[in-house]
Amino acid sequence: MDKEWSSDVVLAGSTSDWCKRLPKAETNWPAGVIAAWKTLSGGSSLSLEQGLELYAEPDLASVGELAAMVKSSRFGTHVFFNSNVHVNQTNICVLACKFCAFRRGRKAKDAYAMDIETYLSEVGKFADHVDEVHSVGGLHPDWGIEHYEELFKSATTTFPHIHFKALTAVEIQHISRLSNISIETCLKRLKKAGLSSLPGGGAEILDDEVREVICRGKESSDEYLEIHRVAHRIGIPSNCTMLFATIESREQRLAHMISLRELQRETSGFQCFVPYPFLPDDSRLPNAQLATGVETLRTIAISRLMLDNIPHIKAYRMNLGDSLSELALSYGADDLDGTVHQESIMHLAGSVTPLDIDRNILGKIIENTGSIAVQRNTIYTRFSLFESKEIPPLRGLKMAS
């Protein structure tokens, strides 16, 4: 078995003929799951109605089995992770999305905005053991394109081995507007300064009625898609996300996935989809439906099945926690993000996922599922097998005293 290998940004380590590799459907699966298997193994995409049928299917295990089968046909027993850190450059934001526990007004006591020196020093604390910095933040009222050009130029000059995945679509839109330049010019200038890929954050639910309630003032659904379209056209790959279990219907979740799938048909620039449920603590959506563990696992499995042209489905530890993330790896997810080391947005919203997790522990979480841990780079073009060293047994539940 190769210990190291590479891929291109479109395949991102996946087999290209995964649908032909799908094993036969299990005969005891319910009709809707068998029908989904037939559609996918025939090289077609699931319809919204098929997605609704999978959401309504009482036999969740069979939906998960089909999702896990698709994951295995793409990646075998490999499960990916990376060594990364989150550095959120500012929490000052001109918007006030209802689900957001992170943003602050400029005058708040705990508002902050890192100058470039502080940003570099934050990255510097982790630079020896990460190869990715994920930077997203609030929409700062004064920071235009020049600020971010200087930030990325300084960061990539100081830390040439680190990939900077930064700025969500709404941040790109905000910077373009402040600087009076087009989205394309903004992205080209940021790319030249050292921005290497975009995270997928800010997609929430791509339905403008839902957005009006949960994130009024943010980019519209079409604008989110257009910003990613432009990024892909000029050679900036990106991820895409879905924040679910606020006020949307299952139908709106599926329509969201279909919008992303259609854009991916045009551009092939999405590498990973990250579905995560709304965390309710300390935020402002009392009417949110919230997701149970079962609904979360079902949504992850359905994401894998609906998004047949996006290679990776991520179990986002920061949001799901380690126990549910471990389970998600058996429901179609193939990627566990990540070592992380430092994270604010989900932790302010109530996440209790441990930070600063050692690569060995992450490897062990993956191995616990019977999978092989593979360390990847940010854009899924370089891979190396990872063998975790012996560590004390992982304890997911507190011991009774």
Q: Which residues bind ligand SF4 (CB under 6 A)?
A: 93, 95-97, 100, 102-103, 138-139, 170, 215, 218
Q: How far is the CB of 350 from ligand SF4 (least distance, A)?
A: 15
Apex 318 CA angle, 235 and 62, nearest 5? 90
Peptide bond into 293 cis (omega under 30): no
Q: How far is the CB of 174 from ligand SF4 (least distance, A)?
A: 8
Three-state secondary-structure class, residue 92: strand
CB-nearer residue toward ligand SF4: 102 or 273: 102
CB-nearer residue toward ligand SF4: 103 or 304: 103
CB-nearer residue toward ligand SF4: 96 or 290: 96
CB-nearer residue toward ligand SF4: 93 or 301: 93
Based on its alpha-carbon atoms, the radius of gyration of the chain, rounded to whole angstroms, reads 20
Q: How far is the CB of 288 from ligand SF4 (least distance, A)?
A: 15
CB-nearer residue toward ligand SF4: 170 or 225: 170
For 82-100, b/e burial (b = at least 16 CB within 10 A) is: bbbbbbbbbbbbeeebbbb
For 101-129, b/e burial (b = at least 16 CB within 10 A) is: bbbbeeeeeeeebbebeebbebbeebbee
Three-state secondary-structure class, residue 132: strand
Q: How far is the CB of 27 from ligand SF4 (least distance, A)?
A: 46
55/123 Cα distance (integer angstroms): 41
Apex 363 CA angle, 360 and 365, nearest 5? 110
Query: What are the backbone angles phi and psi of residue 125, rounded to the nearest 5°?
Result: -65, -25
139/178 Cα distance (integer angstroms): 10
CB-nearer residue toward ligand SF4: 140 or 253: 140
CB-nearer residue toward ligand SF4: 108 or 391: 108
CB atoms < 10 A from the CB of 255, how many? Answer: 17
Cα–chain-centroid distance for residue 25?
29
Q: How far is the CB of 172 from ligand SF4 (least distance, A)?
A: 12
Pairing label, strands 382-385, 4-6? antiparallel
Tokens read off for 337: 């993000």
Q: How far is the CB of 4 from ligand SF4 (least distance, A)?
A: 37
Going by C-alpha positions, the residue among 102, 99, 289, 48 that lies closest to residue 211 is 99
Q: How far is the CB of 93 from ligand SF4 (least distance, A)?
A: 3
Going by C-alpha positions, the residue among 172, 169, 163 that lies closest to residue 190 is 172
Q: How far is the CB of 41 from ligand SF4 (least distance, A)?
A: 39
Q: How far is the CB of 170 from ligand SF4 (least distance, A)?
A: 5
CB-nearer residue toward ligand SF4: 68 or 136: 136
CB-nearer residue toward ligand SF4: 53 or 219: 219
Tokens read off for 140: 């700062």
Three-state secondary-structure class, residue 6: strand
